[in-house]
A and B are shown apart, each in its own frame.
Chain A
Amino acid sequence: MTHNFDTVIIGSGLAGLRAAIEAAKHGTVAVLTKLYPTRSHSTAAQGGIAAALGNEEPDSPEWHFYDTAKGSDFLGDQAAIEVMCEDAIRTVIELEHMGVPFSRTPEGKIAQRRFGGHTRDFGAAAVRRACYSADRTGHAILFALYEQSGLQGVKFFDEFHVLDIAVEEGGCGGVIALEIKTGEIHMFSAKATLVASGGYGRVYKTTSNAIASTGDCLGILFRTGVPLQDMEFFQFHPTGLYGLGILVTEGARGEGGILVNREGERFMERYAPTIKDLAPRDMVSRAIMTEVREGRGIDGRDFVHLDLRGIKRGILEERLPEITTFCKIYMGLDPALAPIPVLPTAHYAMGGIPTDIDGRVFKDEKGGVVEGLFAAGECACVSVHGANRLGCNSLLDTVVFGRRAGMEIGRFLKSAEPGGIGGDLARRTVEGHASMQGRSGTEKAPEIRSELQKRMTDECSVFRHREDLEKLVAEIRALERRAAGIGIKDAGKRFNTEVLEAIELSHLLALSEVIALSALRREESRGAHSREDFPKRDDVNWLKHTLAFRTEKGIELRHKPVSITKFKPVERKY
């Protein structure tokens, strides 16, 4: 089946929906999601969205800008960070007007709490900047945006899995997607295509990310020649439930929770004397892993405790109900009475599709763009998060840059040529897909996937080393060769999730190779990328972005400079 839209958006999380609301003012919009919109992983975001509203104590966008730049270990592009922080207050107020049910202060304003790395007076002390709806902030915003987008006449294609994006001759003409329910392949011609497909935490074994977070569109675009930026920077959230990786929001520490080791010591006092447990995530994750490595994990094991017993039960129930329930269900413990076993969990990709501040996708390191192609949200790299994202800045990023991309699409549509998908590409995709159903082969996708996830976790997590990374690159390539021989038992067309999982695996493999190679090349430690063989940050050689390209000779790494407008890089202390 063939469809024609002015704009096609892939992904129905916060970035995709906010862009859809904007783009719908300028033409027809289709939103494609491989789930249902309300199931998008934005719904799992817990703690809040950052904005210097100053509802609870004095705050300013400039302090927010400084914190974000410093949090990024100075790899974030400051021109973009300033745009985001300056737009934060308007963004959150607009969300409230759209119906987001924020928690409230006694005066009836949007309630705010402390979060990691957010400070007043350029680092003097933690500040209440996170606007929240209990610990279900992502869910609250996702539902409001979904509800509002319905009003704008956005057409949703639920459970459509994107197989290819038509990037041909320097421009993008649309999207090829599988209707999962029927097995039918649809061609979506579009003047503008926006990728807002989220993250790819499933390259790791232990992750807070949904099973659907497999980075399909990044894999597809990389295949077509679009570069991927700063892929070596992957955030590990300090507090994943031990063994499961389910997220326990930083808001738990914002409300007074503390991390302790086997000696009962509040160890963050040693690592970040000023803001302690509210240091940025990269630092807290390294601190936890260091405690564990030096034998100070609980009972000498590989976890520490997150202790919320100092928080009144009333506050837990009012502001942290979701994580309280998670602890009860999955760990069998009541956080008001017992400490929670936690370990860092793969959480957020700072890297992704390189874009400018209006969502236009760069095709090279010199600033050339792919006509008609846009990206926003976790899959994109603007870059506002640099080497390490601050908590609550991801939701802000999605809404600010989703909206900006939607507005830019509006301008682009005024003079855009009609979209279209080349016959060759369409034929190749249809034939390629059909050949996967019931394909014979001796290899099993789930086995390759779990092997990949284990290798990535063991060799490319919080701490990295040349020897591990070199080994990892070879292992990933071996797994890619094995993946060519995957067999599929399910020969049906309808709802063939076995085929979809094999496709997702191909993207996980491709992205893992880019992550490992980018990490191997960057010989310094910055933000979430911590090389044991190069423990210092090296601004002389490495204050620059990585861009990975797929070429005929394999993956090629190039670089581009960082935008530094206001805050000169200094040593990061908290």
Chain B
Amino acid sequence: MKNCTFRIKRFDPERDAAPRWEEYAVQVEPFQRLLDGLAKVKDSIDGSLTYRRSCAHGICGSCAMKINGKNRLACQTLVKDMPDTIEFEPLPAFPVIKDLVVDMDPFFGKNGEVLPRLINEEPPPERERLQSQEEQHRILEAITCIMCGCCTSSCPSYWADRKYLGPAAILKAARFVLDTRDRAIGERLKIIARPHGIWRCHSIYNCVEVCPKEIDITGHISKMKRMALKKRG
């Protein structure tokens, strides 16, 4: 067992004028998840502590938050990899609803702008559309995105311009642009090349640094920039 101090930035919209920091002493095992520690606080110290969680193993994307200055999933960060004092804050750049819960609607809304679905109006063949293994590998990274929001919320370009699509939505566009089965590539490239689109990305790499799925998001955005240029030329 390890004795840890959880410093949690809390905010109750019905009671607090501004966020406040609270400290909790928590005993946790080195291989426990920080999410387990948060549950200990909620279950045995303060039931009103509020955060999102569901799958608890890094696949649903609910528990994204800022932990010791970096966006991460609380369920994918282990006690053994952290110092004794751990600071929890809500994801930056999204409106705070309560404690560690932010409003994700703006985030999901961006996604809706990039035609986020496979578009192919050719009559479908009787069986599957063929796609080689190499072609499928081109979308392999992009399809692992879990929409946790760590990337967009860590992006200085997004902090400066809330109209910016942000890394997650551009990655979503790339997932379809790079899919050989899709037939709306030009339309999609046009959408992401508009003002507040791909050109807002200045390759700061925060998104790559925080992505819990280790996706090279900046690499995908660069690829989209190149394709958009070629399309125009």
When C-beta atoms are compared, the residue in chain A nearest to B175 turns out to be A101
Q: Is the CB of B54 within 8 A of A212?
A: yes
- Given known A38-B147, A101-B139, A211-B54, contact A492–B130 (CB-CB < 8 A): no
Main secondary structure, interface of B, reads: loop
State A136–B57 Cα separation when bound (angstroms). Answer: 13
Q: Is the CB of A38 within 8 A of B61?
A: yes
B191 to chain A, nearest CB (A): 15
Interface residue stretch chosen among A322-330, A352-360, A532-540: A322-330
- The answer, yes or no, to whether A193 is at the interface (CB within 8 Å) is no
A336 to chain B, nearest CB (A): 18
A408 to chain B, nearest CB (A): 24
- The answer, yes or no, to whether B153 is at the interface (CB within 8 Å) is no
Can you sample 18 A-B contacts with CB below 8 Å? A39-B62, A43-B59, A102-B136, A106-B133, A108-B131, A136-B143, A150-B117, A210-B54, A210-B55, A211-B54, A246-B56, A322-B59, A329-B78, A330-B57, A331-B31, A488-B47, A497-B51, A498-B47
State A150–B112 Cα separation when bound (angstroms). Answer: 9
A289 to chain B, nearest CB (A): 23
| Chain B residues with CB under 8 A of A96 | 128-129
Q: Is the CB of B55 within 8 A of A44?
A: yes
State A329–B53 Cα separation when bound (angstroms). Answer: 18
Q: Is the CB of A139 within 8 A of B59?
A: yes
- The answer, yes or no, to whether B7 is at the interface (CB within 8 Å) is no
State the total of A-B contacts with C-beta under 8 angstroms: 157
- Given known A96-B129, A150-B117, contact A103–B57 (CB-CB < 8 A): no
State A350–B56 Cα separation when bound (angstroms). Answer: 23
A322 to chain B, nearest CB (A): 7
Interface size class of A (residues with CB under 8 A): 35 or more
| Chain B residues with CB under 8 A of A147 | 116-118
- Given known A44-B60, A104-B136, contact A495–B147 (CB-CB < 8 A): no
Chain B window 126-162, contacts with chain A (Cβ cutoff 8 Å), 1 for yes, 0 for no: 1111111101100110011011000000000000000
Partner of B61, one of A39, A101, A107, A211: A39
| B: number of interface residues (CB 8 Å) | 59
| Chain A residues with CB under 8 A of B132 | 104, 108
| Chain A residues with CB under 8 A of B179 | 99, 101
Partner of B117, one of A44, A139, A148: A148
Chain A window 202-246, contacts with chain B (Cβ cutoff 8 Å), 1 for yes, 0 for no: 000000001110000000000000000000000000000001101
| Chain A residues with CB under 8 A of B118 | 98-99, 144, 147
- The answer, yes or no, to whether A91 is at the interface (CB within 8 Å) is no
State A137–B202 Cα separation when bound (angstroms). Answer: 34
Q: Is the CB of A326 within 8 A of B127?
A: no
Partner of A446, one of B43, B53, B103, B144: B43
When C-beta atoms are compared, the residue in chain B nearest to A39 turns out to be B60
| Chain A residues with CB under 8 A of B127 | 93, 109
State A105–B131 Cα separation when bound (angstroms). Answer: 9
- The answer, yes or no, to whether B210 is at the interface (CB within 8 Å) is no
A495 to chain B, nearest CB (A): 4
- The answer, yes or no, to whether A490 is at the interface (CB within 8 Å) is yes
B92 to chain A, nearest CB (A): 19
B61 to chain A, nearest CB (A): 6
- The answer, yes or no, to whether B82 is at the interface (CB within 8 Å) is no
Q: Is the CB of B57 within 8 A of A133?
A: no
| Chain B residues with CB under 8 A of A446 | 42-44, 47
Chain A window 488-503, contacts with chain B (Cβ cutoff 8 Å), 1 for yes, 0 for no: 1110111111100000
Interface residue stretch chosen among B12-20, B193-201, B222-230: B12-20
Q: Which 7 A-B pairs have the closest CB atoms?
A: A99-B118, A446-B43, A108-B130, A490-B48, A147-B117, A39-B60, A489-B47
- The answer, yes or no, to whether B108 is at the interface (CB within 8 Å) is yes
Chain B 168-184 interface residues, beta-carbon cutoff 8 Å to A: 176, 179, 181-182
| Chain B residues with CB under 8 A of A136 | 59, 143-144
When C-beta atoms are compared, the residue in chain B nearest to A207 turns out to be B56
State A230–B48 Cα separation when bound (angstroms). Answer: 37
A315 to chain B, nearest CB (A): 13
| Chain A residues with CB under 8 A of B117 | 99, 144, 147-148, 150-151
- The answer, yes or no, to whether B34 is at the interface (CB within 8 Å) is no
| Chain A residues with CB under 8 A of B53 | 211
| Chain A residues with CB under 8 A of B146 | 38, 43, 139
| Chain A residues with CB under 8 A of B104 | 36
When C-beta atoms are compared, the residue in chain A nearest to B181 turns out to be A99
- 10 additional A-B pairs beyond A445-B47, A447-B43, beta carbons within 8 Å, are A39-B54, A39-B61, A44-B55, A44-B59, A93-B127, A106-B133, A136-B144, A450-B43, A492-B12, A497-B42
Partner of A497, one of B50, B116, B133: B50
| Chain A residues with CB under 8 A of B55 | 39, 41, 43-44, 210-211
